[in-house]
Structure 1
Amino acid sequence: MQNSVQTITVLTAALLLGATAASALPIKSGNDKVQVQLYGEVDRAVMYADDGYQDKIFHVDNTHSETRVGLNGEVTATQCLTVGGNVELKWEANPARAVSMDEESISGEFAAELIEMYINTANAGKLSLGQGSTASDASSEVDLSGTDIIGNAGVADLGGGLSFYDAAVDGYSDLTADAVFHGGISAEGLGKINRVLYETRSFGGFTFGASAGEEEVVDFALSYAGEFNGNQLEAKAAWSNPGEGYNQINGSASLLLNSGLNFTVAASSKDVDNMPAYGDDPSFMYGKIGYKCDQLSSFGSTAVSVDYGIFNNADLLDAEQEATAIGVQFVQELSDYSTQLYAGYRAFSLEDNTGVDYEDISVVMAGARLSF
C-alpha cells in the first residue's frame, strides 16, 4: 500500500511538472518509438445554492468535467496496428456534486481515472485492458448541445450534496439531491472500472462494444455517429449487469441541425424485481433543447439550452416517489485561449406519496474550463 501511494505521488509530481513546462519543452519518451502526449484541464466555478431554508456560496470543482491531468503513450507498430496506454488522474477540491450546507470545504485529492493499455487495429477493432470506460459508460449522456459542461442527464453533478428540507418538521431530511436523482440509477451505466473492453470498428457509423469487469460485471452497448446534409446525429444504447441482482438499460440520442438547433433525449431503467427490499423500478426520462451558433461571437461558438428530467424512485425507497429537475445552460467558447466560460441554473423538486412537503432546491453556478 505504501509503495502504491509513493508511486502515485511521484507520478502526480511528474505530471504537474510536465504541465508547468509543457509550453517550453516538448515531452519526450525514453523510447523513440513511443509518442507521448500530456493533456488535461482545470475546471473551477463559483456555486450559489438555496434549499428553501438557508443559502450559501461555494467555491467548487465542476463535477460535470473535473480538473484532471493525464499522459497518453502510443506506438504505431504497423500501418494497421497501434499499441498505447493512458494514465489519467482527476483532482477535485469541493466537488460541485458533494458540497453541502454542512460541508463546504472538501480537501482535494488525486484519484485514478484511467490506468489502461490498448491495442487498436484498423479492421478488427480495439481491445482495452485496465481501469477505464466500460461499454455502457456515459450511455445516457450523449449530448451535442455544446452545454453538457454545465448540464446534462447527470443532473445531480450540480448540487447533488444538498439535502431536501422538510418544512413540516422544520428540519432536513435524509435525502440529498444525489440520492434522489442518482442514488439508485446512473446516467453513466457502469462508468469506469477495472475491465476488459472490446469495441468494433465503425460499420456505417455503428459501433458495438462489450466489457467484463471486476466483481463479475458485464455490459454491452451499441453506438451510432453520423452526419447527413450537414446535420449531426449521435446515439448510444446499453445493457448492463452490475452483478448485484439487477439489470439496467441506458440510452440517449442527440441531433444537431446545421442551423444550430439541437435536441437531446435520454432515459434509463433498472430492473429490481429480484431485490425485494426495494420498491418500484427506478427510472428517469430527460430532454434538452438548445441552440449553438458559431457566428454570434468572434471569440468562438455560443451555446444555450434548457432541459427537464423526471426521476421515479431513483433512491430505491419503498415509497412511491417522483422528482423533477429543470435547468438552463449557457456556454461561450474562447477558441484562442482553449477556454470555455459557462453558467447554469438547476432546480430540484421532490414529491412522494407520504405527503411530505419538501422545499425545492435551487442552484446557480458559473465558472471556466481551460483545456490543454
Structure 2
Amino acid sequence: MRSINKYVLPSAVSLITAMGVAAPAAQAFDFKVSGQVDRAVSVVDNGKNTDVGFVDNTGSNTRFRFTGDQMMSNGMKVGFDYEIGLGNNASASWDVKNSGNEQSTFLDNRQANIYLEGNFGRFTLGKVDGAANATSEVDYSGLTYLSGGVDFADYAGGLSFISKDGQVTSAKVGKVFNEFDALSRQNAIRYDSPTFNGTTLSASVDSGHAYELAARYATDFARGGKFAVAADYVDSQNQGEKYDPKKSLYVNGHRFREMGGSASLLLPSGIVFTVSGKHRDFVRYGKNSANNYFAGIGYVKGNNHFQVNYDRTDGAYMDGSKGNQYGLAYRRDWTKSIQLYASYHLYTASGLGTGVKDINQIYTGVRLKFM
C-alpha cells in the first residue's frame, strides 16, 4: 500500500489538475444550498429505569450542505460537495439517566471534497465517503437512517446494558452491535468507474494507508421491481495508529480486514426483502474476528414504508459476545420534504462477562428537508 500511496496518488492528482486546466468552462458555475433538520424522541426501558430523550437522529443528523458544479467545454464536469452536521444531544450518545450531553453541540464535517467527472468515471479528492461506505446498507424499504434498517445503533448506540444485579455495565448497544460498514467518511482519494450494465466499481485510498474496494449492481425489472447488491473488501492498515518515539514504532493500532455486503429486492407488489452480512478480522485489537447478520422484510405502498427486521452481531464487544436486535419500523412521507417515522426495538446480549437485562426502545421522529 505504501507504493500505491507513493505513485498512484500523485499521478491521479496530476491527472485531475491537468484536465481541469486544459478545459475552459462551458457555462456558469451552478451553486446550491440544501439541508435538513431531523429530531427524534427516544423512550427507553433498560430493565432498571425508564427515561425519555429528546435527541438529534444520528442516522440522518441535522445538517447543511453546499454543492456546486460546472460543465467544461470538453464535456467533463468539475464540482464540489461541502456538508456539515450541526446539532446537539445525538441519539447515538444519549443514555438513560445520563442527560449531561443535552446542551452539548456537535459539529460533524461530513463532506469537503472536489471531483472531476467524465466518460472515464469520477475522481473525488478530500473528505468523502470511502469507497465501501454503505455497502452494509442496501435496502429498498426506505427506512435505513429513519428508525429502521441495519444501522439501528445510530438510534441507540449510547444505551448501557444493566447487569442482572442492577449495575450499569460498560457494554453499550453501540459496542455490542456493529454493522461493520467499512470506514465511513474519510480524507481520501476515491475513484468510481462508469456504470456498465448496472455495475459500478469503486476504490479509495484513505488516511493511514487504508484502502477500500467495492462493487455495486442495481437493476429495474417489470412493473416497478428493483434489485441491488453491494460487496466490499477493506483493510484499515495503519489508520488510528500513533507513533511512539520512545519505542520507535507505531502503537494503538486497531487494524482490521473486512469483507461482505448487502442486497435488497423490491417486488412489483411492494414487498421488500433485505439481507446484510459482514465479517471482520482484527489484526491488532485484542480479539479475533466478528460477524454481523441482518435480515428485513418490508412493504412499500405509496407514501408508507414498513419493515420488520432482525440483527445478530457476534464478537464485536469481545470474543464470545452476542447481541440480538428485533425491530419493527414505519415511515410516512407526509410531503416530499417531510418524513415522519417510528419504531420499536428489543436489544438482548450475552457473553459479556456478566448477565444483562434486555433493553426496550420506542424511537419516533420527524425529518424536514429543505431545497
1:110 CA displacement = 2.4
1:106 CA displacement = 4.7
Structure 2: distance between partners of 1:357 and 1:225: 43
In structure 2, the residue matched to 1:191 is 184
Structure 2: distance between partners of 1:110 and 1:353: 33
In structure 2, the residue matched to 1:98 is 93
Structure 1: distance between partners of 2:75 and 2:333: 36
In structure 2, the residue matched to 1:343 is 342
1:364 aligns with 2:366: no
Contact 2:86 2:105 in 1 (8 A): yes
Q: Which consecutive segments of 4 or more residues in structure 1 shift more than 6 A?
A: none
Q: 1:253 to 1:108 in 2, by over 3 A?
A: same
| Aligned equivalent of 1:135, options 131, 134, 141 | 131
In structure 2, the residue matched to 1:3 is none
TM-score, length-normalised on structure 1?
0.84
1:258 CA displacement = 1.3
Unaligned runs of 5+ in 1: 1-30, 295-300
Q: Secondary structure at the match of 1:335?
A: coil
Contact 1:239 1:247 in 2 (8 A): yes
Q: Deviations over 1:298-357 (max 9, x none)?
A: xxx101110001110112x24x12110111000000225x10011011111001175x32
Q: Deviations over 1:24-52 (max 9, x none)?
A: xxxxxxx9711001111110111101100
Question: How many residues are matched?
Answer: 325
Contact 1:189 1:250 in 2 (8 A): no
Q: 1:276 to 1:90 in 2, by over 3 A?
A: closer
RMSD over aligned Cα, in angstroms?
Answer: 1.6
Q: Secondary structure at the match of 2:176?
A: helix
| Aligned equivalent of 1:52, options 47, 52, 63 | 47
1:1-372 correspondence runs (5 A): 33-78=28-73, 80-104=75-99, 105-121=102-118, 123-148=119-144, 149-168=146-165, 170-182=166-178, 186-229=179-222, 230-243=224-237, 244-272=254-282, 274-275=283-284, 277-278=286-287, 280-294=288-302, 301-315=303-317, 317-318=318-319, 320-335=320-335, 338-352=337-351, 354=353, 356-372=354-370
Percent identical residues:
28
Amino acid at match of 1:332: R
TM-score, length-normalised on structure 2?
0.84
Structure 1: distance between partners of 2:167 and 2:325: 22
Q: 1:353 to 1:56 in 2, by over 3 A?
A: closer
Amino acid at match of 1:88: E
Contact 1:268 1:285 in 2 (8 A): yes
1:146 CA displacement = 1.5
Amino acid at match of 1:240: V
Structure 1: distance between partners of 2:228 and 2:55: 31
Unaligned runs of 5+ in 2: 1-25, 238-253
Amino acid at match of 2:149: N
Structure 1: distance between partners of 2:265 and 2:73: 36
Q: Deviations over 1:50-102 (max 9, x none)?
A: 10000101101111111110100100113631000011100231111110124
- Greater shift, 223-232 or 48-57, is seen at 223-232
Amino acid at match of 1:127: F
